[in-house]
Homo-oligomer: A and B are copies of this chain.
Amino acid sequence: MTRHYTLTISCPDRAGIIAAVSGFIAQHGGFIVEASYHTELEAQRFFMRQEIRADSLPFEVDELGRRFAALAEEFEMNWQLSDSKLNKRLVILVSKQDHCLDDLLHRWRSGELQVDIPCVISNHEDLRSFVEWHGIPFIHIPMQEDKTAAFEQIAALFEQHRGDTLVLARFMQILPPFLCQRYSGRIINIHHSFLPSFVGARPYHQAYQRGVKLIGATCHYVTDELDAGPIIEQDTVRIDHGDTVDDLVRYGRDIEKTVLARGLRYHVEDRVLVCGNKTIVFK
């Protein structure tokens, strides 16, 4: 993969946005590798993502940003510019279950998921050895009496390790509102049901009791309303009457892994833009 800059934009919809932005890029000789657009009709907002080859521009990413700022102001844009050379930094939260963690670490060590993982934090000791085998620091923060203090500690670690994104890889604790708000759009959870079905605890038991014929998993941004944040990715898998709750849990692990990995990749590659409680995902 050659180095590229990714420009994401959202702004009020009107004619001429694509022309203005692509004209600006072309004027500096920029070579667009990938371009995606979307208009959210109800919100009357326009969304855009462009990948530009770094070596096609005569200056660095900071200079690109400076020059773009005037145009951005004219169109009232929220915008962001990232450089593929700089990896996103993921801080991962886990409890005892390791299937999502195992999957993410494998994708990381095989080079498929191009991120840095400065540390893994857990409220249990169980997964220390596995994480440390990867050369990644493992930090144990118990969640007993004073949960607020524990979450403050997590926030401090996230800052200290300059985390971009907090990934809840089957972390079995509910995040307090102050954290959800402080890192809005930067905390990603995998929920083990096809939301909005089976919100809350023990979704596989709920699914079993209801007798559904498919179960699912949902990757979403965390907000302070439980399991109600913007959905990034979902999938389902077929079950039947012969499957016990244990079977559902087993099938579920496979889609949880896949759905989290896909959602996280979209996020890391700046493919996800949020509009109200919905996401635009430029695959």
Contact = CB atoms under 8 A, between A and B. Distances in A.
Interface of A: 15-16, 18-20, 22-23, 25-27, 29-35, 37-41, 56, 98-99, 102-103, 106, 110, 112, 130, 133, 194-198, 210-214, 216, 230-236, 240-242, 244, 250, 253-254, 258, 261, 277-281, 283
Nearest to A16: B26
B15 A31 contact: yes
A35 B33 contact: no
Contacts of A20: 26
Q: Give chain A's interface secondary structure class.
A: mixed
Which 5 A-B residue pairings sit nearest by Cβ, starting from the closest? A211-B278, A19-B26, A19-B22, A16-B26, A18-B22
A106 B110 contact: no
B26 A15 contact: yes
Contacts of A196: 197-198, 210, 212
A230 B214 contact: no
Copies in the complex: 4
A38 B283 CA distance: 13
A225 B23 CA distance: 44
Contacts of A30: 15
B230 A213 contact: no
A241 B98 contact: no
A211 B258 contact: no
Contacts of A194: 194, 197, 214, 236
Contacts of A130: 133
A14 to B, nearest CB: 8
A241 B18 contact: no
Given A102-B106, A112-B250, A234 B213 contact: yes
A10 to B, nearest CB: 12
B18 A32 contact: yes
Contacts of A212: 195-196, 231, 234
B211 A230 contact: yes
A130 B130 CA distance: 10
